[in-house]
């Protein structure tokens, strides 16, 4: 049973030396627990925050101990009522091959190959990142039909769903930004975005103005920095900005400067609001009911970048920070 430990808190970009893959004893499930053989591990940008000591909405990872994260796996031993050997569960003890999970912390999900959606979907399109897109767009950004929507990180797990949900729900125009020409092509040709640009090809503000000549009503921010400033600059009257993430600053060692044009929020009566998916799980049933059929019918497309092997989990995580992924990054064990 191999598991990933955090050895030292990264300063700036995480280094391989900050982590170790450790051979640990096989966990034994106690009363009310199940032993899970993990099949897919999730690697997510927010984990960078947990590697720091700074106080946040989740506790920092402890040094010298196994890290955590979303995972789905197969129950191989059960000492809990209602969960059988062979069931598949979603839980939070990732970054390892085997986990003893409290049954209260394990959510049963459809099994792979049963005609259901693939297991990995519960980490992405029908899981945490999917709900993030849904809740952030519909609730925090108060999306309504006819809105012009701009989303950054648009080829990623959250962003690709934001753009497509907006389209499916009647956005007048959907614009996305991403970090490569290949991703930009995908947004327009496969996901149906009306316009997209590569933020590495020129100033974001200029590219956004060209892509949204009539301005934007909603900005779904995954990135922060220049993107946020550009979005404020293009915001229409009564515009709304949902701050989901700011991946451009996660490895900064100094606080990043804020947008210089915040005063524009006065003129536009604009609203900017951060949110955490954890506060919106009441929307989960509605999310699954609405988005599930779109996924099943192919109306909402999704990609995954799958890295194989527990030993490559760290590389997969670093890949998310670098932008190696298209859609949800998962590790297959
Ligand atoms: P993604 O699948 O979008 O992967 C992250 C992407 O960020 C990369 O693929 C990369 O794509 C892009 N990126 C990396 N560095 C930069 C940069 N400097 N500038 C612009 N883009 C960059 O991850 P998720 O979908 O899981 O998460 C997206 C965002 O949502 C993150 O900020 C995350 O922290 C946040 N989040 C917030 C939640 C909440 O509850 N508020 C819940 C879940 C996620 P590219 O090639 O385009 O650069």
Provide the ipTM: 0.99
Distance CA 22, CA 2 (A): 5
128-278 CATH, one of 3.90.950.20, 3.40.50.2300, 3.40.50.720, 3.40.50.150: 3.40.50.720
User: Would the pLDDT of 113 be above 50?
Assistant: no
Closest atom, ligand 1, to C-alpha of 49: 34
- The number of beta carbons lying within 10 Å of the beta carbon of residue 210 is 12
Residue pLDDT, tens place only, 135-168: 999 999 999 999 999 999 999 999 999 999 999 9
- Ligand 1 close to Cβ of residue 196 (< 6 A): no
Residue pLDDT, tens place only, 210-222: 999 999 999 999 9
Do 77 and 85 meet the contact criterion of CB atoms below 8 Å apart? yes
Cα angle for residues 134, 223, 234 (degrees, 5° grid): 85
Q: What mean pLDDT is predicted for residues 5-22?
A: 98
Distance (angstroms) between ligand 1 centre and the Cα of 222 equals 5
Give the three-class secondary structure for 108. Answer: strand
The structure tokens 């040709």 sit at: 189
Q: Is CATH 3.20.20.70 the right assignment for the domain spanning 2-123+303-332?
A: no
Do 244 and 220 meet the contact criterion of CB atoms below 8 Å apart? yes
CA dihedral sign, ordered 7, 11, 14, 15: negative
Residue pLDDT, tens place only, 258-312: 999 999 999 999 999 999 999 999 999 999 999 999 999 999 999 999 999 999 9
Closest atom, ligand 1, to C-alpha of 244: 41
Q: What mean pLDDT is predicted for residues 303-327?
A: 98
CATH 3.40.50.720 domain position(s) in the chain: 128-278
CATH 3.90.180.10 domain position(s) in the chain: 2-123+303-332
Identify any residues that bridge with 72 across adjacent strands, giving them in sequence order.
Answer: 40, 90
The per-residue pLDDT for 261 is 98
Distance CA 309, CA 151 (A): 32
Select from 245, 280, 306, 307 the residue to mutate for testing ligand 1; criterion: most ligand atoms less than 8 Å from CB.
Answer: 245
Backbone angles phi, psi at 183, to 5 degrees: -65, -40
Closest atom, ligand 1, to C-alpha of 278: 40
- Ligand 1 close to Cβ of residue 244 (< 6 A): yes
- Ligand 1 close to Cβ of residue 159 (< 6 A): yes
The per-residue pLDDT for 110 is 80
- Ligand 1 close to Cβ of residue 276 (< 6 A): yes
pTM value is 0.97
């Amino acid at each position: 049973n191999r598991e990933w430990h955090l050895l030292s808190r990264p300063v700036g970009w995480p280094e391989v030396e900050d982590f170790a893959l450790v051979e640990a004893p096989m966990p034994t499930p106690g009363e009310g627990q199940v032993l899970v053989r993990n099949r897919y591990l999730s690697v997510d940008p927010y984990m960078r925050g947990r590697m720091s000591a700074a106080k946040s909405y989740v506790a920092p990872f402890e040094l010298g101990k196994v890290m955590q994260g979303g995972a789905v796996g197969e129950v191989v031993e059960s000492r809990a009522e209602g969960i059988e050997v062979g069931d598949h569960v979603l839980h939070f003890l990732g970054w390892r091959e085997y986990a003893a999970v409290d049954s209260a912390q394990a959510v049963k999900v459809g099994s792979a190959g049963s005609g259901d959606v693939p297991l990995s979907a519960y980490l992405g399109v029908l899981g945490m990142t999917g709900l993030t897109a849904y809740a952030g767009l519909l609730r925090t950004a108060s999306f309504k039909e006819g809105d012009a929507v701009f989303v950054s990180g648009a080829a990623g797990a959250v962003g690709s769903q934001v753009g497509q949900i907006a389209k499916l729900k009647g956005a007048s125009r959907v614009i996305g930004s991403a970090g490569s020409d290949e991703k930009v092509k995908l947004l327009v040709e496969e996901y149906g975005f009306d316009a997209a640009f590569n933020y590495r090809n020129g100033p974001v503000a200029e590219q956004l103005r060209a892509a949204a000549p009539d301005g934007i009503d909603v900005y779904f921010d995954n990135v922060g920095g220049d993107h946020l400033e550009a979005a404020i600059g293009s915001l229409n009257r009564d515009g709304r900005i949902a701050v989901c993430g700011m991946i451009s600053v996660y490895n900064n060692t100094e606080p990043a400067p804020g947008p210089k044009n915040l005063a524009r929020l006065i003129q536009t009566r604009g609203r900017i609001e951060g949110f955490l998916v954890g506060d919106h799980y009441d929307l989960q049933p509605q999310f699954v009911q609405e988005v599930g059929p779109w996924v099943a019918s192919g109306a909402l497309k999704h990609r995954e970048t799958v890295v194989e092997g527990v030993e490559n989990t760290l590389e997969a995580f670093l890949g998310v920070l670098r932008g190696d992924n298209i859609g949800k990054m998962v590790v297959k064990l």
